[in-house]
Amino acid sequence: MRWIFGLLLLLGPLFGDGIPREEYRARRAELRRSLDGVMVLFGASESEDMRSRFLQDTNFLYLSGWRDPGAAMLLTKDEEMVFLPERNVRGENFTGRKIGPDEADAPKKTGFDHVLPRTAMETTFLRLLDHSRRVYTLPNQVEAQRLIQMAPLHEQVSAVAPIASLRMIKSPAEIELITKAVDATVAAHLAAWKRLRPGLFEYQIASTMEQNYFDRGCEGNAYSPIVGSGPNSTILHYMADRRRMGAGEVVVMDVGAECDEYASDVTRTVPVNGKFTAREREIYEIVLGAQKAAIAAAKPGATIRGDGSLYDVAYNYINTHGKDLHGDTLGKYFTHGLGHHVGLDVHDPDTGPGLKAGMVVTIEPGIYIPEENLGVRIEDTILITEDGAKNLSAALPREPGEIEKLLAEKQFAK
């Protein structure tokens, strides 16, 4: 189906930001061909919690491109339809104008030929059951669970695998959006290096990075920024970002932009005062060697985890290079997986087992030694190609000498 997506790049109009309208229709058509029943999908509902913006369910977004809350869809091999809530004019005073199901241009705006009110979903579902053996739903969608109580004699099947199998292979349009997010993230890391110096708080570095990619048109963080210095560099998902950074420490900066709903994920570990100590550099070069080995082995057919996987390549490199303070090998300090898929979610669906061309994954080995207050992680976003892998974040230096050179040139610039 990749050639179809390539052709769709030449067609228009764009639906939402960056994805051709017909690509969403093609995704649904591909999914529907695999169905032996009715699939029930609900988009996210609008929350009154004002601490965060509305985020559409990413499976719903992937299949529809629809960014308004409260929508739902039903899919079968022969039919597809979207259900929209009736307009709430009073609520729109607070959250903005929404498209109602009865509006004449609703089919054009949603990309669905059949647009119905949410109140019609139950009767439509019952009609579709007459020609269905199975009901496909996503876990943890409470509204879907209520609906399938009406189908006690139908086989209940998870919708995760059939949707994930599509999401794992990125279209050219998706790769373009992920590349945009990666490029903005690289620029944000470089901006942080320019500002970095002892005495700053971790959150100041995080704010510099966020501001940089916001200014580049990205609407949010792909995940909460991780900026961990000294002892915090050994905490894998340290997100407090509250500590004041000191000279003679490294800082792990695991920060990624989200642009047009697509995520990026990049990590660098750099010395706060601009110069690695001998021990920091030793550990850094081991992690870098492990990452290079794993990226070199990344290609269609390789696996991220399991026997003979890219994880094994990285782990074996780490475990055969260097020692801890007690003379033990370092493999036990590599305490997480090697990588994950990236797309609409920073941890995108992964049904395994092997990599294929068009997949986007991270390669992120690390060594974390709490006894030494020393953690190092190096992470890049990688596109699997027909014969290997392309490092989408290669513009951000990894070599320790190049990092030190840039820090020496920029860290005290105003």
pLDDT at site 123: 96
pLDDT-derived band at 11, boundaries 50, 70, 90 = very low
As a whole number, mean pLDDT of residues 156-168 equals 97
In sequence order, the β-bridge partners of residue 270 are: 251
Residue 358 CA: distances (Å) to CA of 23, 168, 299, 382? 16, 8, 10, 10
Question: How much is the mean pLDDT over the chain?
Answer: 93
Q: HSE of 167 in the Cβ direction (CA atoms, 13 Å)? A: 26
Average pLDDT over residues 116-125: 97
CA distance 349 to 198: 39
Q: With bands split at pLDDT 50, 70 and 90, how would you rate the model's confidence at 41?
A: very high
* Sign of the torsion formed by the C-alpha atoms of 396, 401, 402 and 405: positive
Segment 325-334 shows an average pLDDT of 98
Per-residue pLDDT band for 181 (boundaries 50, 70, 90) equals: very high
pLDDT (0 to 100) of residue 13: 40
Mean pLDDT, residues 180-196: 97
Residue 12 pLDDT exceeds 50: no
Q: Are 110 and 101 in contact (CB under 8 A)?
A: no
| pLDDT score at 414 | 36
From its phi and psi, is residue 256 left (phi > 0), alpha (psi between -120 and 50) or beta? beta
Q: What is the pLDDT of residues 332-358, one digit of tens each?
A: 999 999 999 999 999 999 998 899 999
Examine the pLDDT at 125 and tell me if it is beyond 90: yes
- Residue 125's CB is within 10 A of a number of other CB atoms, namely 20
Which two tokens mark 34? 């695999």
Do the beta carbons of residue 189 and residue 396 sit within 8 Å? yes
* Residue pair 261/17 in contact by the 8 Å Cβ criterion: yes
Residue 269 has a pLDDT of 98
Residue-wise pLDDT tens digits, 366-390: 999 999 999 999 999 999 999 999 9
Helix, coil or strand: residue 123:
helix
- Distance (Å, rounded) from C-alpha 263 to C-alpha 273? 30
Distance CA 286, CA 300 (A): 26
Residues 400, 282: contact at Cβ < 8 Å?
A: no
Q: Which of 96-100, 157-161, 410-414 is least confident?
A: 410-414
The pLDDT value given to residue 127: 96
Q: Is residue 61 a contact partner of residue 67, using CB atoms and an 8 Å limit?
A: yes
Instruction: Report all structural domains of the chain as residue ranges with CATH numbers, in order of start.
Output: 2-167 (3.40.350.10), 172-410 (3.90.230.10)
Return the amino acid letter for 150. Answer: M
Q: Which residue from 78, 74, 60, 76 is spatially nearest to 24, judged by alpha carbons? A: 60
172 cis-preceded (ω within 30 degrees of 0): no
Q: How far apart are CA 267 and CA 256, in angstroms?
A: 8
What does the pLDDT read at residue 410? Answer: 65
Separation between Cα atoms, residue 193 and residue 190, nearest integer Å: 5
- Confidence label for 10 from pLDDT (cuts 50, 70 and 90): very low
14 has pLDDT over 50:
no
Q: Is 273 helix (H, G, I), strand (E, B) or coil?
A: coil
Helix (H, G, I), strand (E, B) or coil at 271: strand
Q: Considering only CA atoms, which of 402, 179, 404, 362 is closest in space to residue 266?
A: 362
Output the pLDDT for position 140. 87
Dump pLDDT digits (tens) for 207-256: 999 999 999 999 999 999 999 999 999 999 999 999 999 999 999 999 99
The tokens describing 361, both together, are 């994954």
Least confident of 10-14, 148-152, 299-303: 10-14
- Per-residue pLDDT of 252-311, as tens digits, reads 999 999 999 999 999 999 999 999 999 999 999 999 999 999 999 999 999 999 999 999
Residue labelled with tokens 């104008």: 97
Find all residues with CB under 8 Å of 57, minimum gap 6, and list them. Answer: 41, 42, 43, 44
Partner residues linked to 230 by β-bridges: none
Instruction: Give dist(CA 158, CA 394) in Å, integer.
Output: 38
For residue 287, give the nearest of 399, 183, 402 by alpha carbon.
399
Q: Place 103 in a pLDDT band, splitting at 50, 70 and 90.
A: very high
Identify the pLDDT of residue 413. Answer: 40
> What pTM did the predictor assign?
0.93
Cα(31)–Cα(43) distance, integer angstroms: 17
